[in-house]
Amino acid sequence: MDDHLTTDFNEACFLVDLSNVVRDRRLGEPGARSLRRLRLLVDAAKELARDPDVKLYLVADRSLRHGGRREFSDLGDIRQLGSWVRRGLVEELPDADDRLLELCELTGIPVITGDRFRGARGERPWLQGNTDDFLEPLPGPGGTVRLAPVDMGLAHASAISMKLEEDVLKKQGLLDTHRRPRFDVVSRNWRCEERRCTLYDTTKGSAALLPRMRGTAPTCEMHGGVLVDDGPRTATVQLKLLLDGELKARFTLENGTTVPVGRAPGPGGIALHGLVPPGRTTGLSRVHLTLRISDGLVHVLDRSSYGTTRLRSTAGRGGPGRWRGLGAAEERFGGGDELLLVEGVVLARSGRRFPTELAQEWQRRRPLPPGAAEVTRMH
């Protein structure tokens, strides 16, 4: 189990509302609280991410461990939780909800929870109608757990206004005097001088987590100290090569690069020869497509011989969308998107978003019009 827990946002595929999961009596285990539910959740996350090494970032209410010891059917669960907290594998807080939503907004990592966060809609209007950022653990066949995308629905829309949305961004100090995102902050790496802090450890790669601005100083979310400028942030993106749905390889691309992908694209490219069986390479061009990473955004250009590359989004509530052909110009290759090169051979983007993508998303979001309905969709 420990191998699937991480303190590194670069590795984390999902954020987990641990208290909600451990207390969910629907999930495969009798009793009020059980860590076995987390083990079932790990299996579901492996299947959804198509990654046997999937990593989870856990956030828990302090009351989970201290407020209901008698509710655990296995006292070993309490000792295990304590060990994880001491080792930093569980972030334990008086109230986990605000932290989970904060991390989701800052990193773009989806949250696994059964909570609808209705009480947070006023402060966080991006929850309204959200269909992309939340997964609910549900009972599956044979005592298993499955993860289903959640439509957060609409709630308290009349209380939401442009001023409230601006206040949410202002709370992080990430708006300048013209109410534009602070690119001078998001374009830099930040390091915490607390030696044990892993939130801003750039030796592990370019983390998407951004600091909270207090006054003019970027500060550590966990320790509260002023962060040190650690140089320009090199945006990275992770890609996965899937063959008939199975993970075959991972690739990491850096900002400012243009990378050809194909059967044998040459130096600096992603060569699929040797990764895709010879019998499956029919229709795969020497240079099948080109990926360009600029300002943290990924663009794809179809260069296949017959224009055969297809694109779809997998982030919607109803699951993967329909495959569609690419045009003659570059197109955005966003988080959660997939490219079909030839039958059964898919290049998938991680659901992670770059800081520049997050800033653009903040600018795009707008509150709902007054008078919108209460929660209309729940699952």
Give Cα separations from 174 to 65, 210, 212, 258, 272 (angstroms).
Answer: 34, 9, 8, 30, 41
Query: For residue 67, what pLDDT is reported?
Result: 62
The separation between CA 317 and the C-alpha centre of its own chain, rounded to angstroms, equals 15
Q: What is the mean pLDDT of residues 170-186?
A: 70
Question: Is the model's pLDDT at 8 over the cut of 80?
Answer: yes
Q: What is the mean pLDDT of residues 187-208?
A: 69
Following DSSP, what letter does each residue of 160-209 receive, concatenated?
--HHHHHHHHHHTT-B-TTS-B-HHHHTEEEE-SSTT--TT-GGG-----
User: 197 or 22: whose pLDDT is higher?
Assistant: 22
pLDDT at 374: 35
pLDDT-derived band at 373 (thresholds 50, 70, 90) equals very low
> Which of 2-6, 197-201, 220-224, 249-253 holds the top average pLDDT?
2-6
Return d(Cα 311, Cα 338) in angstroms, integer.
6
Look over the chain and give the mean of its residue pLDDT values, rounded to a whole number.
Answer: 81
Terminal CA-CA length for the chain: 29
Report the pLDDT value the prediction gives residue 172, as an integer from 0 to 100. Answer: 67
| 124 pLDDT higher than 90 | no
% of the chain surpassing 90 pLDDT: 36
Q: Give residue-wise pLDDT tens across range 189-199.
A: 888 888 777 77
According to the model, what pLDDT value does residue 279 have? Answer: 83
The CA distance from 42 to 145, in Å, is 9
User: Which residue's structure tokens are 């066949």?
Assistant: 141
**pLDDT confidence of residue 205:** 45
Instruction: Quickly state the pLDDT bin for 349 (edges 50, 70, 90).
Output: confident
Question: What does the alpha-carbon distance between residue 63 and residue 48 come to, in Å, rounded to a whole number?
Answer: 30
Q: What is the rounded CA–CA span in Å between residue 269 and residue 48?
A: 28
pTM for the model: 0.55
Kindly calculate the radius of gyration of the chain based on its CA atoms and give it in whole angstroms: 22
Has residue 367 got a pLDDT over 50? Answer: no
Say which residue, 57 or 213, is predicted with more confidence: 57
